[in-house]
A and B are shown apart, each in its own frame.
Chain A
Amino acid sequence: MPSIILRKDIQEKLDEVRDADILVGIPSYNNASTIGHVVKAVQAGFAKYFPDKKCVLVNSDGGSTDGTMDVVRNTTLEDGSTILFSHRTNRILTIATPYSGIPGKGSAFRTIFEIADELNAKACAVVDSDLRSITPEWIELLIKPVMENSLDYVAPLYHRHKFDGTITNSIVYPLTRALYGKRVRQPIGGDFGFSGNLARFYLSKDVWESDVAKFGIDIWMTTTAMANDFKVCHAFLGAKIHDPKDPGADLSAMLYQVVGATFDLMETYPDVWSRTHKSVSVPTFGFHYDVGLEPVSVNVERMIDKFRLGVKELIQIWKEFLPGEVIDFLVKAEELPKDKFFMPDEIWVQIVYSFAIASHKKVINKEHLLKSLTPLYIGRTASFVIDAWESSAREVEEKIENLCLAFESRKEFLIENWNSFGESAGGGE
């Protein structure tokens, strides 16, 4: 892939800027309606919290046709800035450029890393272009732990509805925590802070022609930082509200991308995760406060129906790699009425680990494997919703903590079966 740095117009711009203390990147694709607010929040963050630093805003665009880059170039903080930011001394520099390479968020990030490297930026952050809840404080929270506490990676911590983020809560968080031993609560949050050193480290990795360039950049960044002993922390950002995603977005495609990227990283770092046996919490920055969240509508009956259909039709596929104990449970669970429907943590942990092992051993086509996880995930989500219906946010967090402990305590199952010859973990009849 040709480096964006080699492009003459960008090189001229970088020669003009020369260096930077702070760089914030915004990847975009047709976000003209929302990116203006994000740019203003970033500029306000620069002005309010880093007035004496040289700050650069980079918009790495995927070829928008709605004038996204023009919005970025034309958005300024001139109105009211004299009142709010009287101490601002340095000019905020903006670079808006299309990225090159495979279309995807990963390629957009690569361009941001390259510019950060070229400008020798000390601290960087990336924020989504469709955020509605971003405030100038986000920039402070994502950048200051790097600038002032010499940390390398700042993962976001958002307040979310108790039923939101179920892929994160039931798979990605417990799994990455058990694997790499760091309690990073939202590893695929989307908004991160990181040091210039870490940006250079990311650039040195040969992943930019792989799926990482298309999707999975979030979990890749978090895991790469954790697995390579970079200093990791959290920043509490409040609620994350963004433009509603495509309502037709296919859940199984989502699972395939996110879980597939997580499993792929297990192939990269088997030595790291197989010798990690306990998890530790990471420092948290920011002031915790409760956020009012809109209630969400959930149709549990429909979820259970989808789970039952999956068990009926896909059990022959699952028998190739799920343990007999899990298969027995699934057959029984298919018969359970809604009020008794429950999938225990231990079963769910074995399911996730068995899928990871089956993916490693290439038991069946990877896309088939990961998409066949969907009915099980829906069943687990239904069980969680029923179980947590009356629970407070704190109680829900305790349930997630228990699940994480189950992942950690059953890790030996994963390690034992990962390198064993022959059939996968299961082969249950």
Chain B
Amino acid sequence: MGNIFNRLITEPIEDFINKVLLFLPNLFSSILILILGILAGWVTKQVLLKLFRILKLDELSERSGINRIISRGGIKSSLATLIARFVGWIITFGFAIIALDNLRLPAIERLFESFFLYLPNVFIALIIIVVGLLLGNFFGRTALIASVNAGLKMSGLIAKAVKFSIFVFALSIALEQLGIGKETVVIAFAIVFGGIIFALALAFGLGGRDIAKEFLEKKLKGEEEKKDEISHL
């Protein structure tokens, strides 16, 4: 009876205690590594900030227009702060990975494996979104200026549509890259765009019927509005 009790209750508890005792040093060293990582990240950030101040990186990025590009992307920090913060986080993150690895838990090891395999996708998706944002801003402004110069009353709307379309397109590619709802994203994208075009066609068709009629009449009857004859050059 005592033997059975030992095998069923005492041994597992001893086993567990042994495992915990074996795991504890790893846990403490991991916590220590993590704290060291946070410290190292913070110190690196401060050192880099000082170094960039000496190197006048902010003045350089202001002069070259990089700060403006960043702020237009909705980020308020300067280039120097961004780099310092990023490097600091990378260091902390590196230490955190070492700390987790130090725990030697099979579940975490498997998680790491799949995480590291997935990480490039996240990185590429992020780049796609950033590029999409920048391109959206650029082409949105191109469309805005061109349509204003063409005298189109809906310039603002056209610019927003261009900007939004590019961003949605980038987002759909990024999601596809991440493998999130591969088919769904493409179908949703097609439906949204098809819907927009259909809505515009309806709006123009119904709302602009008179304008189209007037335009065609002018064209066919040669009653076009008289153009300016100023020679600008």
Chain A residues within CB distance 8 Å of chain B:
160-161, 163-168, 188, 245, 247, 250-252, 254, 258, 296-299, 302-303, 305-306, 309-310, 312-314, 317, 320, 361-365, 368, 371-372, 374-375, 381, 421-422
Task: Produce 1/0 per residue, B146-184, CB < 8 A to A.
Answer: 101101010110010000000000000000000000000
By a CB distance below 8 angstroms, the chain B residues around A245 are 231
A188 in contact with B228 given A309-B153, A309-B155, A314-B145 (CB within 8 Å) = no
Q: CB distance B149 to A375 under 8 Å?
A: yes
Give the contacts of B178-233 with A (CB-CB under 8 A). Answer: 225-233
Alpha-carbon separation in the docked complex, A421 to B59 (Å): 8
Contact of B65 among A252, A363, A372, A421 (CB under 8 A): A363
Q: CB distance A422 to B232 under 8 Å?
A: no
Q: CB distance A368 to B145 under 8 Å?
A: yes
By a CB distance below 8 angstroms, the chain B residues around A305 are 151
Whether, in the assembled complex, B85 has its beta carbon less than 8 Å from a beta carbon of chain A, the answer is: no
By a CB distance below 8 angstroms, the chain B residues around A303 are 228
B72 to chain A, nearest CB (A): 9
B60 to chain A, nearest CB (A): 11
Contact of A296 among B64, B144, B148, B230 (CB under 8 A): B230
Chain B interface residue count, CB cutoff 8 Å, equals 28
User: Can you list 26 residue pairs at the A/B interface with Cβ under 8 Å?
Assistant: A165-B233, A166-B230, A167-B232, A168-B233, A251-B149, A296-B228, A296-B230, A297-B229, A298-B229, A299-B228, A302-B151, A302-B228, A303-B228, A306-B148, A310-B148, A320-B68, A361-B63, A363-B68, A364-B68, A364-B141, A365-B138, A371-B149, A375-B148, A375-B149, A381-B230, A421-B59
Contact of A298 among B62, B138, B159, B228 (CB under 8 A): B228
Alpha-carbon separation in the docked complex, A245 to B63 (Å): 40
Most buried by A among B151, B159, B226: B151
Alpha-carbon separation in the docked complex, A296 to B149 (Å): 22
- The total of Cβ contacts below 8 Å across the A-B interface reads 92
By a CB distance below 8 angstroms, the chain A residues around B229 are 296-298
Alpha-carbon separation in the docked complex, A363 to B62 (Å): 10
B55 to chain A, nearest CB (A): 16
Question: Which B-chain residue is minimally distant from A370 (CB atoms)?
Answer: B145
B152 to chain A, nearest CB (A): 8
Q: CB distance A371 to B145 under 8 Å?
A: yes
Whether, in the assembled complex, B142 has its beta carbon less than 8 Å from a beta carbon of chain A, the answer is: yes
Q: CB distance A306 to B156 under 8 Å?
A: no
Question: Which B-chain residue is minimally distant from A171 (CB atoms)?
Answer: B232
Q: CB distance A297 to B226 under 8 Å?
A: yes
Q: CB distance B151 to A165 under 8 Å?
A: no
Q: CB distance B148 to A309 under 8 Å?
A: yes
Question: Which B-chain residue is minimally distant from A166 (CB atoms)?
Answer: B232
A368 in contact with B228 given A258-B233, A309-B155, A363-B68 (CB within 8 Å) = no
Alpha-carbon separation in the docked complex, A252 to B150 (Å): 9
Alpha-carbon separation in the docked complex, A193 to B32 (Å): 82
Alpha-carbon separation in the docked complex, A299 to B227 (Å): 8
Q: CB distance A374 to B151 under 8 Å?
A: no
Q: CB distance B227 to A247 under 8 Å?
A: yes
Q: CB distance B230 to A368 under 8 Å?
A: no
By a CB distance below 8 angstroms, the chain B residues around A363 are 65, 68
Contact of A314 among B63, B148, B225 (CB under 8 A): B148
B232 to chain A, nearest CB (A): 5
By a CB distance below 8 angstroms, the chain A residues around B59 are 421
Question: Which A-chain residue is minimally distant from B226 (CB atoms)?
Answer: A297
By a CB distance below 8 angstroms, the chain B residues around A365 are 138, 141
By a CB distance below 8 angstroms, the chain B residues around A161 are 231
A254 in contact with B232 given A362-B65, A372-B145, A422-B62 (CB within 8 Å) = yes
